[in-house]
Amino acid sequence: MIGASSLFQQCLDLVIAHEGGFVHHPFDPGGATNFGITHKTLSQARGRRASVGDVRQLSRAEAGAIYRQFYWEPIRAGEMPAGVALAVFDLAVNSGISRAVRLLQSTLGAKVDGVVGAHTLEAACRADAVDLIRRLTRARLGFLARLAIWPVFGRGWRRRVLSVEQDALRLALKSAPTLKGSSP
């Protein structure tokens, strides 16, 4: 089993690898971003309007703290199985917390209310992690493909989502409990 702090760090490293550094794409509705942290999110985290320069100067450490406070903790990823945590965390970063939680709940067949409560966590922990990750990936790609900006970002999003799926599957298999008498 992976420790909660270690799991966050592993997932954060993978998300930041996909997000990269400073970007200000004219078609990105998030505007200026750095390490995947948008101008709006940085403003919220700092409690004041952040400039594009502030976004450009954002440190990796501050980005990590923002990811923990604004994404990881609200979706309760530290309480989910490792691979599922990564899949939901990356989805929340890329498409918003509410969308991520709703897609997770829908995929689980749970009540879709956009809040990770006891029932959602229980269902996520009971589910077959590998199957859940694969179904969540399909649901995520389906959602993204319906967006008007899919022609601009779709190729990169698809590559990212499939890469996250592979990393999530590796985490799920690495952290799965070994049955007595089975080979490691």
Model-level pTM? 0.89
pLDDT digits over 136-169, tens only?
999 999 999 999 989 988 999 999 999 999 999 9
The residue range of the domain holding 106 is 4-175
Tell me the mean pLDDT in the region 116-120. 96
Q: Is the pLDDT of residue 3 over 70?
A: no
Q: Is the pLDDT of residue 184 over 80?
A: no
75 domain residue, yes or no: yes
Burial label, 151 (beta-carbon count in 10 A; 0-12, 13-18, 19+): exposed
145 domain residue, yes or no: yes
Give the domain CATH number at 158: 1.20.141.10
pLDDT digits over 46-56, tens only?
999 999 999 99
pLDDT digits over 61-113, tens only?
999 999 999 999 999 999 999 999 999 999 999 999 999 999 999 999 999 99
The number of folded domains in the chain is 1
181 domain residue, yes or no: no
- Report the pLDDT value the prediction gives residue 24, as an integer from 0 to 100: 86
- Report the pLDDT value the prediction gives residue 129, as an integer from 0 to 100: 97
180 domain residue, yes or no: no
